[in-house]
Amino acid sequence: MVIEEDTAMRGEQNGKFDAAIEKIVRAYDVMSKTINPVPMLKIDLTPAQIKVLMSFDTSVSYTMTDLGRANRVTVSTMTSMVDRLVSFDLVGRCYDEHDRRKVLVCLTEKGRKTIAHIMNVRRRELERFLGGLRAPEIAEFVDSIEKTAHFLTKAKKGMQVQGR
């Protein structure tokens, strides 16, 4: 009897979990379609390449391994992406000043300007979006986004601890 109740509770929890995932997927889809500055950028980069480029907003240089890890792709995939960014003169390969054998990926001046351009387009797109809301709605939206970022950061740390 206890086992049947436990199984029933787990089934109910899985149903709620599945429903929550479905709601998140739908909300994410709406957000990505509503606030999507990529078409406005007018640059010949894929969203994945833009994501790699934006990694340099938090660090001056990366090893290929660290850049791949930060973007959750293999080193061979990252090498192809970096080669493409090098061909656009957005990043370059440079050497560690303490260990010349260590090759790093570094942002170029054109890469810095491109990141600034991307951030400006994102800001303008958000201003356009928020312009259609009243002050209380903006406050609620900002609060929701900050909470989402908090929970995503917490979940990511949990995944790293579990080795995923």
Question: Quick one: pLDDT at residue 36?
Answer: 67
pTM reported for the whole predicted model: 0.70
Question: Quick one: pLDDT at residue 14?
Answer: 76
Query: Nearest-CA neighbor of 107 among 48, 57, 164?
Result: 57
What is the SS3 assignment for 31? helix
Query: Nearest-CA neighbor of 41 among 107, 108, 88, 91?
Result: 88
- Tell me how far apart the alpha carbons of residues 57 and 53 are, in angstroms, rounded to a whole number: 8
What is the SS3 assignment for 136? helix
Give residues with Cβ within 8 angstroms of 64, minimum separation 6: 75, 78, 79, 82, 103, 105
Query: Nearest-CA neighbor of 73 among 49, 38, 109, 91?
Result: 49
Residue 30, amino acid? V
Question: Quick one: pLDDT at residue 15?
Answer: 80
Instruction: Give the torsion sign (CA, 25, 30, 33, 38).
Output: negative
* Local confidence pLDDT in tens for the 164 residues of the chain: 545 555 555 566 778 888 888 988 888 888 777 776 666 667 788 889 999 999 998 888 999 999 999 898 999 999 999 999 999 999 999 988 888 888 899 999 999 999 999 899 889 888 988 999 999 999 999 999 999 999 988 988 877 666 65
User: Using CB atoms within 10 A of its CB, is residue 49 exposed (0-12), middle (13-18) or buried (19+)?
Assistant: middle
